[in-house]
Amino acid sequence: MQNTNFSKIDGVIPKEVTIPSSVSEIQSFLRHVTKEKLSVIPAGSGSKLSIGNPPPQIDFLLTMKKFNKVVEYIPDDLTITVGSGMLLKDVQKILADNNQLLPTNPPYNNEATVGGIVATNSSGPHRLRYGATRDLILGLRVVQTNGTIIKAGGKVVKNVAGYDINKLYIASYGTLGIITEVSFKLFPKPAVERTMLLNFNQHGHALRTSTEIVKSQLLPVFVSFFSAGIPDTEVLEPCLLIGIDGHPKTVAWQIDQINSIANLNGVVQKEVYQDHKQSQLRSSLCAFPEGNGSNSAVVSRINIKPSNVGNFISSVLDLTSPFSTYVMSHIGNGIVYLILSDFTEEQIGLLANTLTVLRKQAVNIQGNLILEIAPLGLKNLMDVWGEVGQKSQLMTQIKSELDPANVLNPGRFVAGI
């Protein structure tokens, strides 16, 4: 194994970084750290290491960057198996040569590895049409801390026999095992892709329009709301970004229907894009949860019922007025991203109080609020994940069974797991 430098995680520098090149190396490594009860944080490219409570210490950071090859790809079967260290963008390039795609477009699209995406169940706006990342996974290969290799699922779409062990590791944030391979189901690339940009004078008009579109018989790939324009573009007002992909006649019909709905709800400008401008807008949409690159920015993800999104966003905009506030929501999925920036160290306490109030409001409507990016000062004042109630006992039991020495990502996940 090879060691190299790696950046800090919440101010903590890994004592050592290890880069295994084979499954057998991972097995030997995990047996060793388990015996010595050393802490290990798994990583791909490191794009999501900001998510989680501060680690007390990091004995090892284990990066899967050498597991970056295609294991098996059968275009006719619409399936692919890849190493967990492979970049998503590289997978998509290979699929594009066969007019296919893996319809997930999470944040950090140019940096994210397959393993990191699966370990966090990171999904993007295409979730409205195709489901979350977990819905695209056929099988996993995982190494347990005792060196045992677990193969869950398979490489065929109709493999439904037995328990769905895949779901145990998806969104486990590297706390239960090391993912080495992932099998996905694929989709044909749509014949036509179009992106609509609808501008409004009031965020309420935009939200009402989006709700009507989602409730209609239309099948957009995504419907996303921005409270104050789209970052890195000239759009500054409340707006909707809508993706319509498919057969040319179906796409044209859906665009006409969306125009009609928008006209009845106060739209002030409408545009339909393709090619370069479309690519720019879709990239900005996916990149929104990455924040603005500033050290003084907090990115929160709120998960609530789609029917509650409009009222919750109105509450957010009222409560966060002391800060620079940007809201984006994947309407129809019940996902709201909130970026708060331009605050001082003296305002960290006020920021924590504001987010705590919003978290309570989300919990009251059976949702949650997670801090995805936050300065250490804020993490010291509030838990990244929030309370999970009775679920924490079950999660703790699973963790103790699969990682009895508590070596994988200790203390960083829900309920201090």
Both 16 and 67 in one domain: the answer is yes
Q: Helices in 52-202 by DSSP H: which ranges?
A: 88-96, 114-120, 127-130, 166-169
Same domain for 214 and 158:
no
Closest CA to 203 of 99, 303, 318, 305: 318
Position 160 scores a pLDDT of: 52
Sole residue written with tokens 């050498």: 66
Please give the Cα distance from 386 to 14 (Å, whole number).
Answer: 26
Residues 43 and 176 in one domain: yes
pLDDT at 389: 79
d(CA 293, CA 39): 29
**H-state helical runs in 37-145:** 88-96, 114-120, 127-130
Verify that 42 and 176 share a domain, yes or no: yes
- The tally of domains found in the chain comes to 3
User: Does this model's pTM top 0.85?
Assistant: yes
Domain boundary among 171, 189, 207: 189
Q: Is residue 396 part of a domain?
A: no
Residues 30 and 93 in one domain: yes
Rounded Cα–Cα distance for residues 9 and 39 (Å): 14
Of 177, 77, 88, nearest to 124 by C-alpha is 88
CATH number of the CATH domain containing 299: 3.30.70.2740
With beta carbons less than 8 A apart as the criterion, state whether 303 and 368 touch.
yes
* 393 part of a folded domain: no
Instruction: Determine, yes or no, domain membership for 410.
Output: no
Shared domain check, 337 and 227:
no
- Are 179 and 207 members of one domain? no
Q: Is residue 350 part of a domain?
A: yes
Other Cβ atoms closer than 10 A to 386: 19
Q: Based on the domain organization, do 32 and 175 belong to the same domain?
A: yes
Query: Does residue 1 fall inside a structural domain?
Result: yes
Pair (138, 244) in one structural domain = no
pLDDT at 162: 61
| pLDDT for the residue numbered 2 | 39
Residue 246 belongs to some domain of the structure: yes
Residue 69 resides in a domain: yes
Residues 31 and 138 in one domain: yes
Cβ(327)–Cβ(318) under 8 Å? Answer: no
**Nearest in space to 57 (alpha carbons), one of 417, 414, 407:** 407
Residue in this structure with the two tokens 């990191």, named with its chain if needed: 116
Q: Which residue, 144, 173, 189, sits at the end of a domain?
A: 189
Q: What is the pLDDT along the chain (417 residues), one digit of tens a residue?
A: 433 446 789 999 999 999 999 999 999 999 999 999 999 999 999 989 989 999 999 999 999 999 999 999 999 999 999 999 999 999 999 999 999 999 999 999 889 999 999 999 999 999 999 999 999 999 999 999 999 999 988 776 655 556 678 899 999 999 999 999 999 999 999 999 999 999 999 999 999 999 999 999 999 999 999 999 998 788 899 999 999 999 999 999 999 999 999 999 999 999 999 999 999 999 999 999 998 655 678 999 999 999 999 999 999 999 998 899 999 999 999 999 999 998 988 999 999 999 999 999 999 999 999 999 999 999 999 999 998 877 888 999 999 999 999 999 999 999 899
Same-domain check for residues 174 and 222 = no
- Last residue within a domain, chosen from 174, 189, 204: 189
Pair (177, 275) in one structural domain: no
Q: Is residue 143 part of a domain?
A: yes
CATH of the domain at 196: 3.30.70.2190
Burial of 397 (0-12, 13-18, 19+ CB in 10 A): exposed
**Domain around 232:** 192-280
266: exposed, middle or buried (C-beta count within 10 Å: 0-12, 13-18, 19+)?
middle
The residue count for the chain? 417
